[in-house]
């Protein structure tokens, strides 16, 4: 039985004061009854330290949005996995489509980042997803399979158990147009079959596969009811505590 996991990807939003306000509101308003769902908050790097302090002794977990695969060295502007651990992160988003498209991150680079996260005991939230053009060409499954295979290269059965997969169709991100529950479920069950082929049935049964792309309070219930959708990776709607909590409550219930 998989528990749900909801992560809020703040992207490049919220300065330190805004971060304090948002985390304080989430902590204040989230109900104790949300015991079936794990909640992860992923602020920008500049707010991680503050967030880490605020999240101590709470049921909320801290994640980052990116890392560099090297341990240390001459990589101006970059942050290592060890630094993220040191500031209190337990999770890290890797391979987000905005990183892939805006910053030219390749599957090979994403694979290195996943390996580095795992080696430093961070749980990666590994994002995959097709563009609108790829969906319209009918090659969604091929694209997804490729991203999974290349991203998870050399990651063994023990390590994959520490990964969360997030299916985020690129055409649904920030567009207000979510995948229908059926469209998402179709890809999630394909993903589970792919993971069974690569690893084993028990691994594929246990792995958390989140859906991301315009998740809102209005569509969360339907999405969370799908058998292979194990939570959400939320962008825009996580910047407001009310809407984020409504999504968490839907994940907790369904
Ligand atoms: P939106 O929820 O704003 O579509 O963003 C989704 C996303 O990219 C989460 O990582």
Q: Which residues line ligand 1 (CB under 6 A)?
A: 9, 96, 168, 173-174, 212-215, 233-237
* Catalytic hit among 68, 96, 145, 185: 96
Report pLDDT digits (tens) over 128-164. Answer: 999 999 999 999 999 999 999 999 999 999 999 999 9
In the predicted structure, residue 176 carries a pLDDT above the cut 90:
no
CA of 164 to the centre of ligand 1 (A): 16
Residue 177: the pLDDT is: 85
188 has catalytic annotation: no
What is the dihedral sign for C-alpha 162, 85, 95, 21? positive
Which residues is 92 bridged to in the sheet? Answer: 64, 124
In the predicted structure, residue 72 carries a pLDDT above the cut 80:
yes
CA of 232 to the centre of ligand 1 (A): 9
108 burial type by CB count under 10 A (0-12 exposed, 13-18 middle, 19+ buried): exposed
Residue 17: the pLDDT is: 98
What is the dihedral sign for C-alpha 165, 53, 235, 170? negative
Please give the structure tokens belonging to residue 174: 């920030």
96 has catalytic annotation: yes
Residue 214: the pLDDT is: 96
Phi, psi of 237, deg, nearest 5: -75, -5
Please give the structure tokens belonging to residue 73: 């060295």
For ligand 1, atom 1, the nearest C-alpha belongs to 235
What is the dihedral sign for C-alpha 139, 145, 146, 148? positive
* Catalytic hit among 105, 130, 145, 168: 168
User: In 3-state terms, the chain is what percent helix, strand and coil (to 5)?
Assistant: 50, 15, 35
CA–CA distance, 123 with 114 (Å, rounded to integer): 9
Predicted confidence band of residue 178 (pLDDT cuts 50, 70, 90):
confident
Predicted confidence band of residue 32 (pLDDT cuts 50, 70, 90):
confident
Please give the structure tokens belonging to residue 226: 């799908």
Name the CATH code of domain 4-253 (choices 3.20.20.70, 3.40.1110.10, 3.40.640.10, 3.10.310.30): 3.20.20.70
CA of 192 to the centre of ligand 1 (A): 22
Pocket test for ligand 1, best of 5, 11, 128 (most atoms within 8 A of CB): 11
How far is the CA of 154 from the CAs of 115, 159, 243, in angstroms? 8, 10, 38
Please give the structure tokens belonging to residue 13: 């939003």
CA–CA distance, 51 with 18 (Å, rounded to integer): 11
The mean of the pLDDT values for the chain is 97
In the predicted structure, residue 1 carries a pLDDT above the cut 80:
no
Q: Which runs of consecutive H residues, i.e. helices, occur in the chain?
A: 16-29, 48-55, 81-87, 97-102, 107-119, 132-136, 140-151, 157-160, 181-198, 201-206, 217-224, 241-253
Report pLDDT digits (tens) over 214-237. Answer: 999 999 999 999 999 999 999 999
Q: What is the CA radius of gyration of the chain?
A: 17
Phi, psi of 13, deg, nearest 5: -135, 150
pTM of the model: 0.98
Report pLDDT digits (tens) over 108-124. Answer: 999 999 999 999 999 99
Report pLDDT digits (tens) over 77-92. Answer: 999 999 999 999 999 9
Residue 44: the pLDDT is: 98
CA of 42 to the centre of ligand 1 (A): 12
Element (H, E) at 122: none
């Amino acid at each position: 039985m998989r528990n749900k996991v909801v992560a809020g990807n703040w992207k490049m939003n919220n300065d330190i004061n805004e971060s304090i306000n948002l985390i304080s509101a989430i902590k204040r308003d989230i109900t104790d009854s949300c015991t079936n769902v794990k909640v992860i908050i992923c602020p920008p790097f500049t707010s991680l330290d503050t967030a880490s302090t605020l999240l101590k002794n709470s049921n909320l977990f801290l994640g980052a949005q990116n890392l560099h695969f090297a341990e240390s060295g001459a990589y101006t502007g970059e942050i290592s996995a060890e630094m993220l651990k040191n500031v209190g992160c337990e999770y890290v988003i890797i391979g987000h489509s905005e990183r892939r498209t805006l910053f030219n991150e390749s599957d090979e680079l994403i694979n290195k980042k996943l390996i580095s996260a795992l080696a430093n005991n961070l749980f990666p939230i590994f994002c995959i997803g097709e563009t609108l053009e790829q969906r319209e060409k009918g090659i969604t499954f091929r694209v997804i399979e490729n991203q999974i295979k290349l991203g998870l290269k050399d990651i063994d059965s023990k390590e994959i158990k520490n990964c969360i997969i997030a299916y985020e169709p690129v055409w649904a991100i920030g567009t207000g147009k979510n995948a229908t529950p059926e469209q998402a479920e179709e890809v999630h069950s394909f993903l589970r079959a792919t993971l069974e082929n690569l690893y084993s049935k028990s691994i594929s049964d246990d792995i958390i596969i989140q859906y991301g792309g315009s998740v809102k309070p209005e569509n969360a219930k339907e999405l969370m009811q799908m058998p292979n959708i194990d939570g959400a990776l939320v962008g825009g709607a996580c910047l407001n505590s009310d809407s984020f909590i409504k999504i968490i409550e839907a994940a907790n219930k369904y």
